[in-house]
Amino acid sequence: MSMQPQVVAELRSVVGRDHVIDGANDLRIFARDASIEGAMPDAVVLPANSAEVAAVVRLAAKHRVPVVPRGAGTGLSGGAVTIRGGIALQMTRMRRILEIDPVGQTALVEPGVVNQELSLAAASHGLFYAPDPSSQKACTIGGNAAENSGGPHCLYYGVTTNHVLGMEVVFADGSVHWVSGDTPDRIGLDLCGILVGSEGTLCTITKVKVRLLRQPPTVATMLAAFPTVESASHAVSAVIARGIVPAALEMMDQVTVGAVEAHYHAGYPTDAGAVLLVEVDGIAESTRELMSAIREVLAANEGYAMREAKTPAERELLWAGRKGAIGALGRIKPNYYLHDGVVPRTKLPQILSAVGEIGEHYKLPVANVFHAGDGNLHPNILFDLRDHGVLDQVESAGEEMLRAVIEFGGALSGEHGIGLEKSAFMPWVFSPDDLYVMHQVKDVLDPDGIMNPGKVFPDPDRKRARLAGRTGLAIEAKWW
C-alpha cells in the first residue's frame, strides 16, 4: 500500500518539496543497499538538520509509518532495505564536519560525513579516524555507528564503538537527546553503547562525536605468499601467539588474488594459495623490530615472497587491492553474496575447509577475503542472478556457512550487522529469554515499532511471507 497523499504533503511541509521523493522510478534507486535484498520505500525524505529529522519522525509516529534511517547504502546485511515500506530517511544532506578539536583529539560530525573525508580533514592536524571499512570512500559515519562497522585496522584499533564518545539521536517519539560524554569510563547506563550498533531499530543518529588518534610516525606494510590457506591461517595464529598484534592482518585466497591482480596490478603473487597483508605502525625502531619478528614467524610457517612496500604509493596500491577486492571479483561473476561470521583464530583452517566444501556442494565459486587477525570471515559466494533459481542456492549456501561458523564457536557478525539477512539466525546463538529481553529495550524506546521494523530480531511475518511465496502455504512461526 502506498503512502497517503496527505502524509507526503506533510513531509514536504517539513523538509521542502524538493527533498521528498515519491516517484516510482526515482524510488527504485533507494530500494536496495549492498545486500541481495530489495524493497521499495513509499517515500524518501532528505532532512537538512536535527530539527527536520525530529519533525519527520514525529509525523511518522503520528501516522504509524515505518522509518528506516539510511546512509550511503553500502551496508551488507540489508539494514537499509524498507521491507515494510514507509519512509527511507536519507541522511546524506547532513554532511558537515562541525568541529575538529586537535587538543582534545575529537571531532563532532553530522551522520552523512563520509568516513574517509573525516580522516582527510583530520590529517591537517596530524590526526586520523581509525575505523576504516573497505567502503570508507563512500560509507558514512552515521551508518558506521548504526552498524558498529569494523575494517582492516580494527584488529589493533578496535571497531566503531571504541571510537564513539557521544551521539545526538532522535528517538521514535521525535524527541532529541544527547547520549554519553567524553570520558571513556562512563558512569551509569551506557546508553550510547546500546545505540551504537542498534542498526536504526532504536533511533536516528543526527550527530556523532568521535575520538581521533595521532598519526603514527612510521608505517610498515608487507605482503607475504603462502602455498595454502591453511598454512596462512597457521601463520596468523603464530603471529598473535608471539605477542604481536599488528595494526592489520588481512588474508586473501587464490581466487581473490587472481581477480585483484588482474584489476590493480599490485604485484600480488597469483600462484600463491593465499596471501597475507600485514601492517604495523609506531616509532621507526619499533616498526622495524616488529616487522623483522613477523618475517621470522611467517617464514617458519611456509611464508615466502615477502615484500615490504618501499614507498607510500606502493603501500596505497597494496591496500587498494585489498579494499577493492570484492569489486574486483566482478571479473568472475557479476553478483556476490557474503557474510561476516567470526570464529576463533585457531579455527580458521577448519572453517575455511567447511566453506570450501559448502561451495563445492552447491556448485558455486567462493572467494575468501577477510580480517584474519580477528577471525572475521568474508566468504564471497559468486553467482549470476540471471541464472534460473540460483538465488535460492546462494542463500542456502550462505546459511550453511553461518551454521558452520556457530558450530565452531563463532558469532553471526563481526562488522556488517544482523539486519535483514541474519535476523532469522539469531535463535542459533540467543535463547528465547535473551531475545525477549533485547526486544524489551526496543519496546521502551520504540513502543509502536516504527523504527526500522523487521530487522535484527527474527520476523515471523516475513518468514511466513517468504515460505508462502515459495510453497503456496501459510506457515505459523513464533520466536519466543
Average pLDDT over residues 270-274: 97
pLDDT at 472: 34
pLDDT tens figures, 164-197: 999 999 999 999 999 986 665 667 788 999 999 9
Class of domain 218-327: alpha beta
What's 354-414 look like in SS3? HHHHHHHHCCCCEEEEEEHHHCECCEEEEECCCCCCHHHHHHHHHHHHHHHHHHCCCECCC
pLDDT tens figures, 439-478: 999 999 999 999 999 999 998 766 544 544 433 323 233 2
Residues of the chain with CATH 3.30.465.10: 97-214
Tell me the CATH number for domain 5-90.
Answer: 3.30.43.10
- Name the burial class of residue 395, with classes exposed (0-12), middle (13-18) and buried (19+) by CB atoms within 10 angstroms of its CB: middle
Tell me the percentage of the chain whose pLDDT exceeds 70.
94
With a CB cutoff of 8 Å and minimum separation 6, the contacts of 279 are 152, 153, 219, 220, 221, 222, 246, 247, 248, 249
Average pLDDT over residues 51-78: 97
Residues of the chain with CATH 3.30.70.2190: 218-327
pLDDT at 460: 72
- Name the burial class of residue 241, with classes exposed (0-12), middle (13-18) and buried (19+) by CB atoms within 10 angstroms of its CB: exposed
pLDDT tens figures, 95-105: 999 999 999 99
Res. 41: pLDDT tops 60: yes
pLDDT at 100: 98
Res. 287: pLDDT tops 50: yes
Residues of the chain with CATH 3.30.70.2740: 333-424
- Phi, then psi, of 281 in degrees rounded to 5: -145, 165
Tell me the percentage of the chain whose pLDDT exceeds 90.
92
Which one has a higher pLDDT value, 461 or 411? 411
pLDDT at 258: 97
Domain at 97-214, CATH from 3.40.800.20, 3.30.465.10, 3.60.20.30, 3.40.50.970: 3.30.465.10
Q: Which residue has the cell 569494523?
A: 150
pLDDT averaged over the chain? 93
Tell me the CATH number for domain 333-424.
Answer: 3.30.70.2740
C-alpha grid cell, residue 146:
548504526
pLDDT at 479: 28
pLDDT at 186: 63
pLDDT tens figures, 313-361: 999 999 999 999 999 999 999 999 999 999 999 999 999 999 999 999 9
pLDDT at 371: 95
